[in-house]
Structure formats: structure tokens, C-alpha cells
Structure 1
Amino acid sequence: MSETTIPNVSPPTLYIEGPAFWAPELPGWDIACAAFRDEGGLTDPPAKRPSPQILAPAERRRAPDTVALALEVASAAVTASGRNAKDLPCVFASAHGDLGINDYMCGTLATDPSVLSPIKFHNSVHNAAVGYWTIGTGCMASSNSLSAFETSFAAGLLEAATQCAADQQAILLVGYDVPAVGPLKSVITSAGLMAAAFVVSPVRTERTVASLDWALEPGPSQTPALHSSAANKVHTDSIADALPVFEELARASGTPLRLPLAPTMSLRLLIHPLA
């Protein structure tokens, strides 16, 4: 019996729409894009946190930083893509969820569990941000809340790309994380607010900004170097593996990126800007 040969098929080219970015030093994609090209600098003083207009004023005040960050870039990405959030599946990626609330929960449970805040408990779950998003937009499409420690953005991008290619449907990718506080700072390096998002589409549209070729690549992995002074100065958090992707979207160098997924596996990306 002859052996069956399995063809080596490359994943299909996908397309990026509506890049969105927020960090205190770079509060918005236009500012970040210019800074990543070394055509602008960091804002001074830094912004405190975004104020997503998708939430009602009272909800904006109560929402934790993770929700504010995620909804700010998600809204910006969907608006720039020209799509309807109600119909758009989404992947939200965060290494740890809300570390401030986790610290509060652990401390309160250890000292006086009876005073635990129901609102903070409600916001402590990892899918809180995507829950606020789907409720606020009325989205009934599929949603994922994904965590993969400090490779969470790469894992989220792989998940979004796989879903997009398999279902032939555009999908929103959102990555976000916040600083560690309390005893968690001794084991988690996250030191700042940062969020990034874009829409991945199976076809090119009038809103497409870049094509995306992607593949899994075995072998030792290493985080790509950052080239702009702005990206290197951002107070990084656990979603910082998004920085080389957004820097490449801005700089359009044509250099392949290899985002670590594991010690011996990377997500290889080649981003081509499209006019």
C-alpha cells in the first residue's frame, strides 16, 4: 500500500482593518502610529485611562481599568473598520484579567470576607470586558475570552486568524492588560496600562490597511526587538507582545515577525501595508 502524502498548505492571506491602540503615553492609534515611525513622541503628562463612550456615564465611572481599556480600543477598531459590532465575532485576550481587583479579592477574602464588594466580584471574572462589550453593543455573535500568560496577544491573534480563515468571516481581536499591584507585583512583571485591537477579515475591503500572512513556525522562540524609541519607552504590561505588531503596522518595514507562543513555537507574521 502506498503512503498517503499530506500536502503542505499555507494558511490563507488575511486582511487587517481598523487598528486601534491605547497606552497612557500614546492614547490613540494616530498618536501611536506617528511615534512608532519616530515622527512624534510620548504625550506629557500621560493620560490616566480611557473613557469609552459605549458605556453610560455611571457605568464608565464604575468600570475597572480592564473594561475601560478593552472597550476603548474595541470601539475605535470597529468604527474604523466600518463594520457593525452587533454582527462581529470577537476574541478578547488578556494575560491576567484585572490584577487590581484580584489583589483586592484575595486581601478581602483573607481578612474579612463579609465585606467583599459584589461589584468588584462581578468585575473579577476574566470575561468581564467581553461581557460589557457584547451587552453594550448588542452583539450576539460568538465571543472568546482568552489567556496565555505573556503570549496572550499572539495566542489571541492565532485564535482570531484561525476563526477568520475557517469561517470566512471578519473577527474583532482585542488585547489588554493592566499593572500588577500588591503582592502580585513580586511574581508578575506587568507595569502599565495598554490595549490594542483590529479587525481581521478574510477578504480585502475599502477599509483594509494591510495584508497578513501567518503561519506556525517550530523552533526556539524569542520576542521580536522593538525599533522605535516610543515603543521601547512604553511602560509595558503583559500584553506587550502586541507592540511589535503595531509598530510594524506603523513602520511597514516588511520584516517578518515571530511572536512566541511557547519556548519552541512561534507565530510567524508578514504584514504588508496596502494603500
Structure 2
Amino acid sequence: MSSRLSVYIDGIGLIAPGLNDWPSARQVLAGLQPYHSAKTVIPTPELLPAAERRRASDIVKLTLATSLEAMSQAGVEGKSLPSVFSFSNGDGVNCHSICEMLASEDREISPTRFHNSVHNAAAGYWSIATKTMATSSVLCAFDASFGAGLLDAITQVVIEDTPCILIASDTPYPEPMFTKRPIPDNSSIALVLMAQKSTRSIAQITVSVTDEPAYQFDAAALENLRTAIPSMRSLPLLQLIARHDSGHVMLDYLDGLRLAVEVDPC
């Protein structure tokens, strides 16, 4: 297998502080609109049945919102779409609530809290919403989670010659864990990746591993967003796509390694 892997991006979904969806984010990243940080707005997951909708946590709502935006843009349904979920720490609020209960005299954890505590809970809700029976991978690589998910998803597309959706999301912890893991707000990105170019293809990306330094934004607000939230390590890639530019960018990955991503607009 080549050390350089190429796929096509046919759909993008994005939710982050001050960026409510991909069209608005594209205007900001292309330099057509200024970036103004604001609390993340998470849409209601209308695809879920009412019972599951009431139980859904923020990370579930995030993954559903961005994945549905990306699939709509790509013109695909989730029923037969393999998926890769990559979270830097999972559901912070639910983890905090369970720890509070375990530290109290009443240690009876609710079934909803318990089943939302597993790392693949969002993937489970997603399969319910999309009625998919396709394979799903769920990863965690701390601050390298976007890069790890991107490599996993691209490898599946190239080896299996099949579409795949990547969803990388982050949610904050309340105090006292916030001090140790200070993710400031909810964020999520979804990419629908294809092996072959289509009429809906946005860009071709070619990914390899490098030790060159990662890209940094000149704008302080965007750089703070990139470094504060692991899934937002994707922003330099999205900026090239938003500008409809050919070029390459280095994305943060593991210690001592970065991902070199070449972008060619379609």
C-alpha cells in the first residue's frame, strides 16, 4: 500500500463556537466574513425517535447534526455508509454526573447515564437515527483524535473501495475536571469521503505522514479555536477547501508527527 492515500471529500458538516454550519464557516475561513466567537448552538436531533431524543447527550446531538449536514451535501444516505467516530474524551458532562453520583451516598446510577457513558454511545444513536447496518469504528487519541480518525477513514475508503463518513467531536467537562482538560465548548466536524470523483466532489485530498511543523493561523481567534479543541485541528484543511485553493497543509497528529494534506479543488 502506498504511504500516500488519496480520497475525495463529497460532503462537510461543521459546528463549533461561532460557526453554526459549513456554509457560514466557509465564509469565515475564506476571509469573506470576520470570525466572532460565540457559544456553540446544537440543533435538536429530529431524526431520533422521541424516547432516544430525550436521552441524547450533547455529543450525540453534535454528531447527528454534522453528519446529516455532510450526508445531505454529498447526496448519500446513512443506511449503508460505513462510519468512523473519533472523540478526544467522549461525553464530559455524563462522565462528571456519574462521578458525582459515585461520590455521594446514593450510588444508584440511572440506566440512561450508564448506557451514555460508553465511548461508542454516539455511534449507537447514529445507527438508530440512520437505520444503518454498516460497520462503525470508534476511536480516541486525545489531541490527535481528528488525525487518527482521518487516517482510519481514508484507509477504509482506499482499501475497501467504499464511501465512509468521519465524525470527530468534542464536548467540555464541568469543573473540577475542566481544569485538567479545559475544552471550552462543543464542536464537531463530519466529512463524507469517496474513493472516486463524483459530480458532488468538493476536493481531492492526499494524506501522508511528516515531521514538518503544523500550520498555525495568523488570526489569534482562529488559532485559539484550533488549539483549544482537538476536532478543530481540522480547520487549516477546511480553510484551503473554503478558499477553493490548491495547496498543502500540515495538521497536528501524534507527538513528533504531523499529517501532510495536499488539497486539489474539484
Bigger Rg, structure 1 or 2: 1
More off after superposition, 253-262 vs 188-197: 253-262
* Unmatched segments (≥5 aa) in structure 1: 1-7
How do residues 216-231 of structure 1 correspond to structure 2 at under 5 angstroms?
Answer: 216-217=209-210, 219=211, 222-227=213-218, 231=222
Shift of 1:57: 4.3
Partner residue, 2:236: 244
Pairwise CA distance, 1:59? 3.2
Q: CA 1:44 to 1:231, structure 2 compared with 1: closer, same or farther past 3 Å?
A: closer
Offset at residue 186 of structure 1 (A): 2.0
Counterparts of 1:146-157 in structure 2, within 5 Å, are: 146-157=139-150
Query: CA separation of 1:100/1:202 partners in 2, compared to 1, >3 Å: closer, same or farther?
Result: same
SS of equivalent to 2:33: coil
Deviations 1:141-188 (A, max 9, x none): 110111000110010000001111100111000011011211211211
User: RMSD of the alignment, in Å?
Assistant: 2.2
Residue 136 of structure 2 corresponds to residue 143 of structure 1: yes
Structure 1 residues 104-136: Cα deviation after superposition (integer angstroms, max 9, x where no partner) = 111211223533222111111111111101122
Asked whether the 8 Å contact 1:36–1:228 carries over to 2, the reply is no
Structure 2 gaps, min length 5: none
- CA-to-aligned-CA distance 1:233-271 (integer Å, 9 cap, x gap): 648423221222222221244332222322222221111
Aligned length, in residue pairs: 265
Residues 255-264 or 193-202, more deviating: 255-264
| CA drift at 1:230 | 6.1
Q: How far, CA to CA, are the matches of 2:36 and 2:2 in structure 1?
A: 45
**Mapped partners of 2:205, 2:222: distance in 1:** 21
Cα distance in 2, alignment partners of residues 24 and 167 from structure 1? 35
Q: What's 1:54 paired with? A: 47
Partner residue in 1 for 2:59: 66
> In the TM superposition, what are the counterparts of 1:90-105 in structure 2 within 5 Å?
90-105=83-98
Q: Percent identity?
A: 31
Structure 2 counterpart of 1:249, one-letter code: I
CA contact (8 A) 2:214 2:258 kept: no
TM-score, length of structure 1 as denominator length: 0.88
Shift of 1:47: 5.0
- 1:15 to partner: Cα distance: 0.5
Asked if the contact 1:87–1:140 (Cα under 8 Å) also holds between the matched residues in 2, the reply is yes
CA distance in 2, matches of 1:216, 1:234: 23
